[in-house]
Amino acid sequence: MHGRKKLTLENFMQGLARRNPRQFEFHQAVEEVAASVIPYILQHPEYMKARILERMAEPDRTIIFRVVWEDDQGGIHVNRGYRVQFNNAIGPYKGGLRFHPTVNLSILKFLGFEQTFKNSLTTLPMGAAKGGANFNPKGKSDREVMRFCQSFMTELHRYIGPNVDIPAGDLGVGTREISYMFGQYKRLENEFTGVITGKALEYGGSFVRREATGYGCAYFMQQMLHQKGDSVEGKTCIVSGAGNVAQHTAEKLIELGGKVIAMSDTSGFIHDPEGIDQEKLNFIMDLKNRKRASIAEYAEKFKSQYYPNQKPWSVPCDLAFPCATQNEIDECAAQELVKNGCIGVAEGANMPTLKEGVNVFQNARILYAPGKASNAGGVAVSGLEMTQNIMRLNWNRDELEARLKDIMRQIHQKCLYYGQEEDGRIDYVRGANIAGFKKVADAMLAYGTI
Ligand code: NDP
């Protein structure tokens, strides 16, 4: 067909790597999706003819800009800001902003690409984007963070809007940063709209948004276990990270009767065989959200073990929840988890497991949920925040939690539909990828060649 190479994973990935040199995280994210979607496309030639996968792997546009700000001593700093508007076939662009020194185009393209499928899975009308800056909020004063956020938004506001692109938080972007950015947008545009989600409750935020990613992740595990006639009750759990997603995954697991025995941060991990109950979790929340201190203080306070500079995957557990960052479970860590009896993994973070690690979980036939399914609760409640902003009303906490739970159930159902294997096992990776792909692909087909 027009001298085109046959659609195989190898040919497709070669082209992608040539067009996006050295963007390894982006290659990794695309390959994971392409491996399950290409066989499906080969059975549906209309997608192949319209080159839907090639089009999906190319962002609609990428915006890169300079962010200049002044520190408390009057020193001038220059950072690089980004917004990758990936795909708006099924709704306005939607996805978080990440402030972290490692932010680059490869990371944001991997996150934006993943977001396309995740947002599609939520059942809500949301396209996909991701953005951020190579700015490190750690160690900065509140006023420095404010000046950075205002400078960042002074440029970004030109490209976003409540019907165009609605950013949210991600690593390094919590309520404080969202508030500074929303305040600046409101000032520049002279309008109060739901242009950004993750806002505080007083000015257009939603109940359960803060908790949504973590709660959703725990609900997804509950669904996977329920499907096998099992439950979270009494299971030992490891949660990596100690930020927003980790805290609320742990909170819901505790509520569901799970026993969380390890958590971590960039400094190392803590192991508490007695279990982290709600009171101990409140200590961690205060430690991370207010004091912004190391998790080592937990070990001192509750006389448990602290392992500096290590990841928690060597601790035997029934269930594992990687909720810190990308590529935190490699092949060895995955083997160790399986060897120690782990029966289920649900990703709270985006792409925390390397391809080799995913293979280990799948070959061991344990339950494994990719982040685009199991952490979709966050963006789903962001979508509900947008709905409430447009309607100018607030649903109550119970209403939102019920909706979140139902969305996670529906995502699980979609994974079952497309991921069921002949022997009854569920391939959640294939299920999530194909279900996410199909909705966006059908919309793109309907629009014709644009
Ligand atoms: P936070 O910044 O609130 O927390 C991140 C946590 O992970 C912190 O405890 C941090 O440690 C730890 N961490 C970060 N990098 C590393 C590393 N290299 N090694 C060990 N620990 C690390 O972020 P979130 O909880 O919001 O996000 C976590 C993950 O979940 C990310 O992958 C994000 O993309 C994903 N996600 C987040 C959503 C959300 O709603 N917030 C939605 C969907 C996905 P320390 O405390 O020392 O900094």
Q: Identify the residue whose C-alpha is closest to ligand 1 atom 44.
A: 349
Q: How far is CA 156 from the centre of its chain?
A: 21
Distance (Å, rounded) from C-alpha 220 to C-alpha 374? 6
Q: How many other C-beta atoms can be found within 10 angstroms of the C-beta atom of residue 51?
A: 17
Is residue 12 within 8 Å of 95, Cβ to Cβ?
A: no
Q: What is residue 313's DSSP assignment?
A: G
| Centre of ligand 1 from the C-alpha of residue 318, in Å | 22
Q: Which amino acid makes up residue 392?
A: R
Q: How far is CA 291 from the centre of its chain?
A: 25
Q: How many other C-beta atoms can be found within 10 angstroms of the C-beta atom of residue 190?
A: 6
DSSP 327-377: T-B-HHHHHHHHHTT--EEE--SSS-B-HHHHHHHHHTT-EEE-HHHHTTH
pLDDT reported for residue 450: 87
H or E stretch including 152? helix 142-156
| Centre of ligand 1 from the C-alpha of residue 22, in Å | 24
Q: Identify the residue whose C-alpha is closest to ligand 1 atom 10.
A: 265
Please name which of 447, 444, 429, 362 lies closest in space to residue 35, comparing C-alpha atoms. Answer: 429
pLDDT reported for residue 215: 98
Q: Identify the residue whose C-alpha is closest to ligand 1 atom 41.
A: 170
Please name which of 334, 349, 320, 347 lies closest in space to residue 261, comparing C-alpha atoms. Answer: 320
- Ligand 1, from 102, 247, 252, 266: best to mutate by most atoms within 8 Å of Cβ? 266
| Centre of ligand 1 from the C-alpha of residue 193, in Å | 28
Distances (CA, A) of 275 to 214, 260, 278, 318, 397: 18, 5, 10, 13, 27
Instruction: Pull the structure tokens for residue 247.
Output: 């805290």
Please name which of 129, 124, 118, 125 lies closest in space to residue 415, comparing C-alpha atoms. Answer: 118
Is residue 103 within 8 Å of 143, Cβ to Cβ?
A: no
Distance (Å, rounded) from C-alpha 426 to C-alpha 366? 10
Q: Which amino acid makes up residue 325?
A: T
| Centre of ligand 1 from the C-alpha of residue 25, in Å | 17
Residue 257 — φ and ψ, nearest 5°? 95, 10
Residue 169 Cβ inside 6 Å of ligand 1? The answer reads yes
Residue 288 Cβ inside 6 Å of ligand 1? The answer reads yes
Q: Identify the residue whose C-alpha is closest to ligand 1 atom 28.
A: 324
Atom of ligand 1 nearest to the CA of 292: 46
Residue 244 Cβ inside 6 Å of ligand 1? The answer reads yes
Atom of ligand 1 nearest to the CA of 173: 2
pLDDT reported for residue 91: 98
Order of all β-strands in the sheet with 165-168? 61-70, 76-87, 128-133, 93-99, 165-168
H or E stretch including 168? strand 165-168
| Centre of ligand 1 from the C-alpha of residue 13, in Å | 29
pLDDT in tens, the chain (450 residues): 455 789 999 999 999 999 999 999 999 999 999 999 999 999 999 999 999 999 999 999 999 999 999 999 999 999 999 999 999 999 999 999 999 999 999 999 999 999 999 999 999 999 999 999 999 999 999 999 999 999 999 999 999 999 999 999 999 999 999 999 999 999 999 999 999 999 999 999 999 999 999 999 999 999 999 999 999 999 999 999 999 999 999 999 999 999 999 999 999 999 999 999 999 999 999 999 999 899 999 999 999 999 999 999 999 999 999 999 999 999 999 999 999 999 999 999 999 999 999 999 999 999 999 999 999 999 999 999 999 999 999 999 999 999 999 999 999 999 999 999 998 899 999 999 999 999 999 999 999 998
Distance (Å, rounded) from C-alpha 89 to C-alpha 93? 9
Query: What structural domains does the chain harbor?
Result: 9-56 (no CATH), 61-192 (3.40.50.10860), 212-374 (3.40.50.720)
Buried b (16+ CB within 10 A) or exposed e, 213-229: bbbbbbbbbbbbbeeee
Atom of ligand 1 nearest to the CA of 246: 25
Distance (Å, rounded) from C-alpha 162 to C-alpha 189? 12
Residue 242 Cβ inside 6 Å of ligand 1? The answer reads yes
Q: What is residue 197's DSSP assignment?
A: S
Residue 167 Cβ inside 6 Å of ligand 1? The answer reads no
Residue 383 Cβ inside 6 Å of ligand 1? The answer reads no
Residues in the chain: 450
pLDDT reported for residue 302: 98
- 400 in helix, strand or coil? helix
Distance (Å, rounded) from C-alpha 302 to C-alpha 104? 39
| Centre of ligand 1 from the C-alpha of residue 247, in Å | 10
Catalytic residues: 130
